[in-house]
Amino acid sequence: MSILFQECDVLSPCAIGGILNSETIPKIKAKIVCGAANNQLADPVEDDNLIYNSGILYVPDFLTNRMGIVNCANEQYGYITNDPIINQHYNKDWEHSIYQTAMQVFNNSKNKNKPTGEVALELAEKLSLENHPIFGHRGEKIIKSLIASNWAE
């Protein structure tokens, strides 16, 4: 029997895409699917609906992988030790934190009776039209952080 089909609280697919499909989803006994593999759903629409209708709480891959995406998108602006802009993503209080975003997706999914993948995609598309939150002048903070870290030694 596949490890995918064991009783557990959280199933975390982290290796290959397409692992969640019309053959595997009906056999999953987990309450939550939250993994880091990209493109976990073989069919993003059909399998999103199938997992939703099965009663499993699905955290879409791009929400789970968010900080990898944030890190890659922000690296062009430079790094700051203990960066408050990055750290706010881990804070439960910031409206766009990982926690708040996940809760917004889960609540909207429940209230709109839509799969979490569909709701998360709608939210991502809406937020993609907003200005990047760290645009502006970070140069001074980057230089001070580099000096403080003794990067040249």
The tokens 């062009």 sit on which residue?
Answer: 76
> Side-chain half-sphere of 18: how many Cα atoms within 13 Å?
1
How crowded is residue 93: how many other Cβ atoms within 10 Å of its Cβ? 8
Q: How confident is the model at residue 23 (pLDDT cuts 50, 70, 90)?
A: very high
Q: What is the CATH number of domain 1-59?
A: 3.40.50.720
Task: Select from 149, 117, 146 the least CA-distant residue to 47.
Answer: 117
Domain boundaries, the chain: 1-59, 62-153
Give the pLDDT band of residue 150 (cuts 50, 70, 90): confident
Instruction: Inform me whether the pLDDT recorded for 139 exceeds 80.
Output: no
Asked if 141 and 148 count as a contact pair (C-beta separation under 8 A), the reply is: no
Quick one: tokens of 120?
Answer: 């998360």
Q: Quick: pLDDT tens for 85-97.
A: 788 888 999 988 9
User: Is-contact 41 21, C-beta < 8 A?
Assistant: yes
| Ramachandran category for residue 115: left, alpha or beta (phi over 0 → left; psi -120 to 50 → alpha) | beta
